[in-house]
């Protein structure tokens, strides 16, 4: 007995839809992967905001803040100092009169390789620290 043409069309359509879903997950990634990439992008934005706030603090006070708490307590300096994934505070370490480090824990490796100055914020998986000099463009990434 021959199967009706509707069943054949249904089988082909189901196969095409299934293959499309698999291809989409392969190309775009899973929702969990997207969430981790989004969290890492938020972390970089937060660290850049802290860097700008530290630069402004330096301009106003001619010194680095001793802690992120001190920076966050001043209403003129708007910066998110808490990791969106872990809800822990980012790490901030004063290294010298004009030098400090900002550290975060990243879930995924960044897409851009560390080759050029604009790739300063590139990172691997895990805890990464970025060594910064107030008001200077030469910055060095330090993996710790």
The answer to the question of residue 17 being in a domain is no
Q: Is residue 15 part of a domain?
A: no
3-state secondary structure the chain: CCCCHHHHHHHHHHHHHHHHHHHHHHHHCCHHHHHHHHHHHHHHHHHHHHHHHHHHHHHHHCCCCCCHHHHHHCCCCCCCCECCCCCCECEEEECCCCEEEEEEEECCCCCCCCCCHHHCCCCCCEEEEEEEECCCCCCEEECC
Q: What is the pLDDT of residue 28?
A: 47
Determine, yes or no, domain membership for 113.
yes
Two tokens, residue 129: 């620290």
pLDDT for position 107: 94
Copy the structure tokens of residue 28: 């775009």
Judge whether residue 1 has pLDDT over 50. yes
Residue 136 has pLDDT above 70, yes or no: no
Is 19 among the domain residues? no
* Segment 38-97, tens digit of pLDDT: 899 999 999 999 999 999 999 999 999 999 999 989 888 888 999 999 999 999 999 999
Task: Tell me: pLDDT of 21 over 50.
Answer: yes
Residue 133 lies in a domain: yes
Structural domain tally of the chain? 1
What domain range includes position 80? Answer: 32-142
Residue 16 belongs to some domain of the structure: no
Tell me if 108 is assigned to some domain.
yes
Residue 5 in domain:
no
Of 78 and 135, the one with more pLDDT:
78
Q: Is the pTM here over 0.95, yes or no?
A: no
């Amino acid at each position: 007995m021959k199967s009706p043409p509707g069943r054949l069309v249904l089988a082909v359509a189901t196969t095409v839809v299934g293959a499309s879903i698999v291809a989409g997950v392969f190309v775009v990634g899973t929702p969990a992967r997207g969430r981790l990439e989004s969290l890492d992008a938020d972390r970089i934005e937060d660290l850049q905001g802290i860097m700008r706030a530290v630069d402004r603090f330096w301009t106003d006070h001619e010194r680095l803040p001793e802690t992120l708490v001190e920076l966050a307590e001043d209403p003129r300096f708007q910066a998110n100092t808490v990791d969106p994934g872990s809800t822990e505070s980012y790490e901030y370490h004063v290294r010298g009169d004009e030098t400090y480090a900002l550290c975060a824990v990243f879930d995924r490796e960044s897409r851009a390789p560390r080759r050029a100055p604009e790739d300063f914020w590139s990172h691997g998986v895990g805890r990464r620290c970025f060594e910064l000099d107030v008001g200077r463009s030469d910055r060095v990434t330090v993996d710790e």
